[in-house]
């Protein structure tokens, strides 16, 4: 009886070595966090994470944008002694909303990259 292969030695039927991909896909896979092998399951987890990140960031951007706009409107129509303070708060909150929106766009871009990588890996493994 032969010795049992360790997990590092045993090839996974649901994954592909990154070296077998095209150079631009290798670069994208390494950018997405894959080192040596790209697994269909790990890609699926990445897709779910980026989808959740996109939704949460967009929701945070919408809520903070609303409150930032409300603070800016209050600084215009509110009492004059609170005007400068509310403008500062409104601008600060609006900048947070802008950053959350940019992060949501980043998550959307990474989601597209994960889906492209998933389709290519599934095609190379014959899972489509």
Domain that holds residue 40: 16-125
The mean of the pLDDT values for the chain is 88
- Scanning the chain, the segments in alpha helix (DSSP H) are 23-31, 40-77, 83-125
Predicted model pTM: 0.79
What is the domain count for the chain? 1
**Per-residue model confidence as pLDDT tens digits over 16-52:** 888 888 888 889 999 898 888 888 899 999 999 999 9
What burial letters (b/e) apply to 55-72, b meaning 16+ CB within 10 Å?
A: eebbebbeebbebbeebb
**Per-residue model confidence as pLDDT tens digits over 69-90:** 999 999 999 888 888 999 999 9
C-alpha 60/C-alpha 42 separation (Å) is: 27
The pLDDT assigned to 44 comes to 93
The pLDDT assigned to 53 comes to 96
Inside any domain, residue 8: no
Inside any domain, residue 10: no
């Amino acid at each position: 009886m032969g010795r049992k292969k360790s997990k590092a030695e045993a090839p996974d039927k649901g994954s592909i070595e990154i070296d077998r991909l095209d150079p631009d896909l290798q670069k994208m896979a390494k950018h997405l966090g894959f080192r040596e092998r790209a697994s269909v399951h790990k890609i699926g987890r990445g897709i779910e994470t980026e989808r959740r990140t996109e939704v949460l960031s967009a929701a945070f951007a919408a809520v903070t944008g609303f409150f930032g706009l409300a603070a800016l409107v209050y600084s215009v129509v509110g009492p004059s002694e609170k005007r400068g303070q509310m403008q500062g708060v409104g601008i600060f909150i609006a900048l947070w909303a802008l950053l959350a929106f940019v992060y949501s766009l980043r998550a959307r871009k990474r989601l597209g990259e994960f889906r492209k990588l998933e389709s290519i890996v599934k095609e190379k493994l014959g899972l489509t």
